Amino acid sequence: MFTVTCAKMVLCLNVILFLTLHLLPGMKSSMVNLINNGYDGIVIAINPSVPEDEKLIENIKEMVTEASTYLFHATKRRVYFRNVSILIPMTWKSKSEYFIPKQESYDQADVIVANPYLKYGDDPYTLQYGRCGEKGKYIHFTPNFLLTNNFHIYGSRGRVFVHEWAHLRWGIFDEYNVDQPFYISRKNTIEATRCSTHITGINVVFKKCPGGSCITSLCRRDSQTGLYEAKCTFLPKKSQTAKESIMFMPSLHSVTEFCTEKTHNTEAPNLQNKMCNGKSTWDVIMNSVDFQNTSPMTEMNPPTHPTFSLLKSKQRVVCLVLDKSGSMSAEDRLFQMNQAAELYLIQVIEKGSLVGMVTFDSVAEIQNHLTRITDDNVYQKITAKLPQVANGGTSICRGLKAGFQAIIHSDQSTSGSEIILLTDGEDNEINSCFEDVKRSGAIIHTIALGPSAAKELETLSNMTGGYRFFANKDITGLTNAFSRISSRSGSITQQAIQLESKALKITGRKRVNGTVPVDSTVGNDTFFVVTWTIQKPEIVLQDPKGKKYKTSDFKEDKLNIRSARLQIPGIAETGTWTYSLLNNHASSQMLTVTVTTRARSPTIPPVIATAHMSQHTAHYPSPMIVYAQVSQGFLPVLGISVIAIIETEDGHQVTLELWDNGAGADTVKNDGIYSRYFTDYYGNGRYSLKVHAQARNNTARLNLRQPQNKVLYVPGYVENGKIILNPPRPEVKDDLAKAKIEDFSRLTSGGSFTVSGAPPPGNHPSVFPPSKITDLEAKFKEDYIQLSWTAPGNVLDKGKANSYIIRISKSFMDRQEDFDNATLVNTSNLIPKEAGSKENFEFKPEHFRVENGTKFYISVQAINEANLISEVSHIVQAIKFIPLPEDSVHDLGTKISEITLAILGLPMIFSVF
């Protein structure tokens, strides 16, 4: 074994453009703070479907307590866990030690405890899809992992938690690679992909165990690739001296540290090297915001154990705080607000919730104290109080205070309650109630209607962990916002799901037709809603079996808010529904179609789509990333069309097709996270995001493969001359019947974001280079090297690059440290393709002597028409390997004639050939 010294890569100057992006937090509102070396505000939430079990809570406490000490020493006495909240679901019994949560919710927890959908194992993992150094979304533990002794497989639960915390908090990646477990080092040895190389072990192939005895052999070289055969497995020795690394194998007792620049293995083909340009995990951690102003603690003793708060989720309490000031009479805003609020009350809010309503202008009035949603009569009682006249000024603080009063009047705590604040007006005194809002513990969701809504609205959402929305001129922006404010309890079978939300401008006497697929995961509580601006259209709706519903079947609201609604009796038929709308009026008018539904079955999770931007605020010229996650349970949904629509304050729209191809803005291929760079700034102000995810032509499928960014499942160890095997990993059978999904449609709001520093609309010189190439691959074919990668664009991942720079070197260190002085490959005949296309390029390394075993290290850059150059891609290796006759391929590694094998503690004998 040998040590690989990490050297810092020299990056292009234009990479500076990306630094702001990489350091900004994502949209998820974690409540974690690092104060005086201790992490406060960590939320671990248990899913409502998990059966009540006191042992689960005790094991969570033990895990975090152990993790705190391990983390403290791993970070060289810098950080530990001070206090943690465990969020107990409503489905569990109440106890005196359970307190009411404030802004803590399952939806925004740092750690979730939930059973997987379709049993694909209990590997702990972190949902992480940002750049190097960007925070993840959440850590997922299964109840079985927390209740079963898996120490020999993963390591202790405390160590596992620290491994996942590093993913979540600091945006670092794993140092193993299940797809490429071995590589050929620059010293021509076959090495296991790991960090550090000081971790020792043997490489073996396990064969079947007939009659109770297992036979294995040391790995042989594949005569075609020069690497080990496909089933070769690295088994570490139980007793090690290496302290690194937690991101490779924290289960080893000696491993207590992260890889540093001195111990980092830059050659290993793992995600950490690929995503972080060869930087060590410790270097990335030390560059994080957490560590920039945190010094090691000087006290001799480790800090005290973490404290735990047990919080039990309460029934949902929501108060609508609606603006009815004079400006709401403009552009039909009052009508639109009432249409959207009615939709929320009838179709979105979960049954059993407590709902109140406040209206405000210069003063505020409680229209309804909290009322439990039980049946249609309750809906009608609340909607009857929606405001019919708009006049007066705007006092947002009075509206909020009245909302708090409506909640308290009904003997409910404002802590953990939600307020939906909708306004179109400015208010110079909004800052005066910020402290009251903080003390209340309430969650404030804000909807800014039109371009003049108070600029401070987003501050209210940010400080309370609420959603933030911006709606412009047509009603769909409001209905999308209200539809997104569903339960945050984790019980997704209760949540309203939006299948369609479409605005249609129809000329006089004309008809428009459309379709909406209803898939088998939904169909409960399904509503079709049509709104109009002048006159009610003629409506025909037909289900997949041919049953028709006509205009008379749609109930028109008594409030005269130009809205008609049909609730499908029972469970909506699976398949394609068709609708036809005829504008009987002589003039053009705007019609909208909105379809909402809920899960068909409490045991089968529905397909869900969520969306957000990479940050709340963009400072030009910092690029942003649009993210959309499409999943069923925790399984990614692949092979679908995902379209993002971004709209500015003046109605200008940008449409982006999002990709899950592992290139450009997308870090991991086929993880169900669809993404794309957004650079089409059109002035400053608020922008809104909505995403439409559609499966067509039976192309959708589930990804049943284990997620990335997880602790390594260790198959076994070598101890005192014995191989101790762990139980084999549960096999995941690709059951195609379950993995396929029929056609579906989902529409979701991604909230709003704010742009500053952007030039006014118009043609501007490009300031963004092509995106970094992140999926470069290389191989020898006879005397030629074949390269393939996904084409970047002229502007990040949009358009076509102008040309490519490809450089090659025999020296890994030279290629890593000095890209510009490596040998330039002639690319004059390489014409870049459209972004997202597959590029293939073949060349002969003519300036080098090539013989059997010659290794080349290659990287690529792209240049756009403004001569802006992308970041250098990751380094790939191409080896000239001349296959040897099968009988001359020699075994590599220590020759062992006989080893004792133990499975689950039972000694057996096997031979090594």
Q: pLDDT tens digits, residue range 694-713?
A: 998 888 999 888 788 899 99
842 is catalytic: no
Burial of 394 (0-12, 13-18, 19+ CB in 10 A): buried
Q: What is the pLDDT of residue 815?
A: 59
Q: What is the pLDDT of residue 314?
A: 87
Cβ-proximal residues to 619 (8 Å cutoff; 6+ apart), any chain = 20, 756, 757
Q: How far is CA 477 from CA 609, 686, 690, 747, in A?
A: 17, 13, 9, 11
pTM tops 0.85: yes
Q: What is the pLDDT of residue 221?
A: 87
Cβ-proximal residues to 194 (8 Å cutoff; 6+ apart), any chain = 175, 176, 234, 248, 249, 265, 268
Burial of 719 (0-12, 13-18, 19+ CB in 10 A): middle
Q: Which two tokens stand for residue 208?
A: 């079947």
Written as one letter, the residue type at 805 is I
Residue 216 near residue 205 (C-beta atoms within 8 A): yes
Catalytic residue among 66, 104, 164, 191: 164
CA 767 to chain centre: 28
Q: How far is CA 88 from CA 44, 63, 309, 351, in A?
A: 9, 17, 10, 20
Residue 200 near residue 192 (C-beta atoms within 8 A): no
pLDDT tens digits along 362-397 = 999 999 999 999 887 888 889 999 999 999 999 999
Q: What is the pLDDT of residue 119?
A: 62
Residue 752 near residue 485 (C-beta atoms within 8 A): no
Q: Which of 575, 576, 695 is nearest to 639 (CA)?
A: 695
Virtual CA dihedral for 122, 125, 127, 128, nearest 10 degrees? -160
Q: Which of 338, 334, 325, 316 is nearest to 382 (CA)?
A: 338
Where the chain has pLDDT below 50, the residues are: 1-27, 211-212, 736-737, 886-913
Burial of 888 (0-12, 13-18, 19+ CB in 10 A): exposed
Q: What is the pLDDT of residue 491?
A: 85
Which helix (H) or strand (E) segment holds residue 396: the answer is helix 396-409
Q: Which of 319, 315, 309, 616 is nearest to 442 (CA)?
A: 319
**Strand residue runs (E) in 109-209:** 111-113, 125-127, 138-141, 182-184, 190-192, 201-206
Q: What is the pLDDT of residue 592?
A: 95
Strands across the sheet containing 575-582: 511-518, 575-582, 538-542, 548-550
Q: Which two tokens stand for residue 842?
A: 């073949």
Q: How many residues does the chain have?
A: 913
C-alpha span between 322 and 361 (Å, rounded): 9
Q: Are strands 784-790 and 635-638 parallel, antiparallel or unpaired?
A: unpaired
C-alpha span between 649 and 665 (Å, rounded): 25
Angle between helix 475-484 and 333-343 (nearest 10): 30
Tell me which long-range contacts 477-480 makes (C-beta under 8 A, separation of at least 24). Answer: 477/647, 477/688, 477/690, 478/336, 478/337, 478/339, 478/340, 478/422, 478/447, 478/449, 479/339, 479/340, 479/343, 479/592, 479/594, 480/690, 480/747, 480/748, 480/749
C-alpha span between 292 and 276 (Å, rounded): 18
Which helix (H) or strand (E) segment holds residue 909: the answer is strand 906-911
C-alpha span between 376 and 385 (Å, rounded): 15
Q: Is the peptide bond before 245 cis (omega within 30 degrees of 0)?
A: yes
Torsion-angle region of 371 (φ positive above 0: left; ψ -120 to 50: alpha; else: beta):
beta
C-alpha span between 535 and 550 (Å, rounded): 16
- Number of DSSP helices (H) and strands (E) in the chain, helices first: 16, 50
Q: Which two tokens stand for residue 206?
A: 């396990």
DSSP annotation string for 33-64: EEETTEEE-EEEEE-TTSPP-HHHHHHHHHHH
Q: Is the peptide bond before 269 cis (omega within 30 degrees of 0)?
A: no
Q: What is the pLDDT of residue 673?
A: 96
Sign for the CA dihedral angle at 696, 698, 699, 702 comes to positive
Q: Is 99 helix (H, G, I), strand (E, B) or coil?
A: strand
Q: Is 18 helix (H, G, I), strand (E, B) or coil?
A: helix
Q: Which two tokens stand for residue 538?
A: 């003629």
C-alpha span between 565 and 531 (Å, rounded): 9
Q: What are phi and psi of 117, to 5 degrees?
A: -95, 130
Return the number of other C-beta atoms located less than 10 Å from residue 541's C-beta: 23
Both ends of the chain: CA-CA distance in Å?
Answer: 23
Q: Is 757 helix (H, G, I), strand (E, B) or coil?
A: coil
DSSP class of residue 792? -
